[in-house]
């Protein structure tokens, strides 16, 4: 028999989580933003339980057993991806904005890095929340400007004060990685901030969100389209060569709309130059 001062033994039947022990949504989000998970096409997340994407299926299509689980449409798409050099995205002499499906497939073809931070264009770095909070990393890269695409109390809440001792110019956008979120309203402001950073003496800009794959990548793509005169296809190829990126379908659609707009402007400018006054 336990002594009078002994603690009560655990009661398995009565064990449970108290309401006050349940973390808040903000705490859960902060937990997800801690560290850098794998960006592999497939990972084992529990013994004998794997999570992956379509490219893993495409890459392993030659396995005869896989044909049993691959729909015919996926097999056709896989064959098309392997013949990308002859795809409509690369052989058309007159550029036209591809469909969302073609743009998404283009992203599947790339094989960039999954580091905390990567240089994707001269003096433009894209990264995640870990890199944003690592002052040592930012100093080693000699970052002078930061564009936080996940600003705000429910995102990566750093702010200008966090970098006060580094003499970094900060610009925050409170965006959410939600296909329904309209990030396009920030395209030009963000692009102008990046251009200003690059034009400053020794300017290096770090663009980040939580994971450095969707919000931040979208804003860098918009910059390349607006100020570097790139098509969306060229911008996607440029950035994804250096970093694994994956703008959500809503953001990709907004970039596509921007691409159509800029392409029409280029056509008008070319027509005006050809016809003359």
Tokens representing 189 are 């402001």
Residues 6+ apart with CB under 8 A from 43: 50, 51, 52
Catalytic residue among 39, 73, 209, 246: 209
Query: What is the spatial distance between Cα 161 and Cα 166, in angstroms, rounded to a whole number?
Result: 10
What are the b/e assignments for 126-155, b being 16+ CB within 10 Å? Answer: bbbbbbbebeebbeebebbbbbbbbbeeeb
Query: What is the spatial distance between Cα 277 and Cα 268, in angstroms, rounded to a whole number?
Result: 14
Does 246 qualify as catalytic in the annotation? no
Residues 6+ apart with CB under 8 A from 198: 122, 123, 124, 205
* DSSP letters for 144-168: -EEEETB-STTS----GGGGGGGT-
**Residue 236 buriedness (CB in 10 A; 0-12 / 13-18 / 19+):** buried
Please count the CA atoms within 13 angstroms of the CA of 191 that sit on its side-chain side.
19
The values of phi and psi at residue 235, to 5°, are -65, -45
Beta bridge partners of 117: 127
Catalytic residues: 209
């Amino acid at each position: 028999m336990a002594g009078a001062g002994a603690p009560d033994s655990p009661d398995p039947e009565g064990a449970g989580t108290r309401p006050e022990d349940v973390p808040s949504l903000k705490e859960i989000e902060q937990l997800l933003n801690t560290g850098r998970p794998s960006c592999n096409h497939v990972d084992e997340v529990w013994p004998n339980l794997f999570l992956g994407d379509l490219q893993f299926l495409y890459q392993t299509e030659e396995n005869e057993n896989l044909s049993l689980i691959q729909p015919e449409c996926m097999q056709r798409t896989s064959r098309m991806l392997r013949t990308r050099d002859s795809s409509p995205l690369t052989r058309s002499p007159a550029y036209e904005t591809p469909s969302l499906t073609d743009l998404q497939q283009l992203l599947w073809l790339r094989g960039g890095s999954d580091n905390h931070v990567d240089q994707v264009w001269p003096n433009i770095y894209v990264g995640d929340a870990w890199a944003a909070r690592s002052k040592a990393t930012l100093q080693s890269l000699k970052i002078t400007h930061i564009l936080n695409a996940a600003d705000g109390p429910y995102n990566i809440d750093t702010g200008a004060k966090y970098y006060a001792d580094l003499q970094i110019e900060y610009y925050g956008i409170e965006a959410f990685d939600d296909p329904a979120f309209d990030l396009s309203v920030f395209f030009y402001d963000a692009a102008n901030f990046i251009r200003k950073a690059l034009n400053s003496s020794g300017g290096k800009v770090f663009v980040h969100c939580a994971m450095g794959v969707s919000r931040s990548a979208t804003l860098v793509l918009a910059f390349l389209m607006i100020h570097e005169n790139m098509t969306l296809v060229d911008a996607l190829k440029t950035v994804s060569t250096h970093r694994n990126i994956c703008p959500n379908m809503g953001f990709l659609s907004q970039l596509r709309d921007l691409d159509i707009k800029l392409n029409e402007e280029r056509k008008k400018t070319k027509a005006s130059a050809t016809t003359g006054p």
